[in-house]
């Protein structure tokens, strides 16, 4: 199944690596996620995961997703917003030891100033042009209506990401995603994945190698 207008197919279950409770479990989790061949979300402490994965053969070819910061919300003008997003992207790439991210997500949790979102999107487009980002995603981190207020005026994303139990996102944002042929990825906990219908793309939160290895 193609993921919207990325026009590419990926494994249906992606892995979001969360920090294990025991430090000794970090390396096994990183290696298990890598060996699974699934897309990996390394947004939580990318420098930590990069330290374990950047030496693995084929690291540059693995599908990696990372969510940006909320820094653009405090931009004082358009140029400042560009700089803040570019700075976060460079920091993330450096932490992971990569030249490119397959997916870079802009998190939206509230309505921001037009110059802030416009600057953030300009930075994303520049990163795509320079080959540092393949696809941009909208990550819903607050009310669905806040994301809608931004998205309806800026058709700038290939992928929409939100929590699987966010009913407002389902009713408010999914129809727009479908009309724009934007791919949909739903975040879900490992335990909930067992009981939730596994249709479509899922971004599964895992904290151990065993949780990732037991995914169907």
Residue 198 confidence (pLDDT): 62
**Are the C-beta atoms of 118 and 78 separated by less than 8 Å?**
yes
Distance of alpha carbon 51 from alpha carbon 27, whole angstroms: 9
Query: What are the structure tokens assigned to 139, written together?
Result: 């990550």
Residue 68 confidence (pLDDT): 98
Handedness of CA 161, 118, 151, 110 (dihedral sign): positive
Residue 196 confidence (pLDDT): 76
Among 13, 37, 9, which residue's Cα sits nearest to residue 216? 13
Distance of alpha carbon 204 from alpha carbon 191, whole angstroms: 9
Q: Are strands 40-41 and 13-17 parallel, antiparallel or unpaired?
A: parallel
Residue carrying the six token digits 């897309």: 39
Query: What φ, ψ does residue 214 adopt, rounded to 5°?
Result: -90, 0
pLDDT along the chain (216 residues), means of 10: 96 96 94 97 97 96 98 98 98 98 98 97 98 98 96 96 96 97 97 81 96 88
- Burial classification of residue 131, based on how many CB atoms lie within 10 Å of its CB (0-12 exposed, 13-18 middle, 19 or more buried): exposed
Residue 53 confidence (pLDDT): 97
Residue 175 confidence (pLDDT): 97
Among 183, 172, 102, 106, which residue's Cα sits nearest to residue 143? 172
Show Cβ contacts of residue 164 under 8 Å, excluding neighbours closer than 6 positions. Answer: 186, 187, 188, 192, 196, 202
């Amino acid at each position: 199944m193609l993921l919207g207008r990325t026009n590419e197919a990926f494994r249906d279950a992606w892995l979001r690596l969360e920090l294990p409770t025991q430090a000794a479990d970090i390396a096994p989790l990183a290696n298990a996620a890598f060996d699974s061949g699934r897309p990996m979300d390394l947004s939580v402490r990318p420098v930590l995961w990069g330290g374990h994965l950047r030496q693995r053969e084929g690291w540059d070819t693995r599908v990696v997703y990372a969510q940006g910061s909320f820094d653009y919300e405090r931009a004082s003008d358009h140029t400042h917003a560009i700089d803040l997003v570019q700075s976060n992207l460079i920091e993330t790439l450096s932490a992971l030891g990569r030249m490119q991210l397959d997916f870079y997500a802009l998190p939206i949790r509230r309505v921001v100033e037009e110059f802030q979102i416009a600057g953030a999107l300009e930075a994303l487009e520049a990163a795509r042009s320079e080959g540092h980002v393949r696809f941009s995603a909208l990550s819903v981190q607050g009310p669905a209506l806040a994301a809608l207020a931004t998205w309806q005026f800026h058709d700038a994303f290939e992928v929409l990401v939100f929590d699987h139990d966010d009913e407002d996102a389902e009713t408010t944002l999914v129809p727009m995603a479908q009309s724009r042929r934007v791919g949909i990825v739903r975040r879900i906990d490992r335990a909930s994945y067992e009981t939730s219908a596994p249709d479509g793309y899922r971004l599964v939160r895992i904290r151990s190698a065993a949780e990732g290895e037991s995914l169907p």
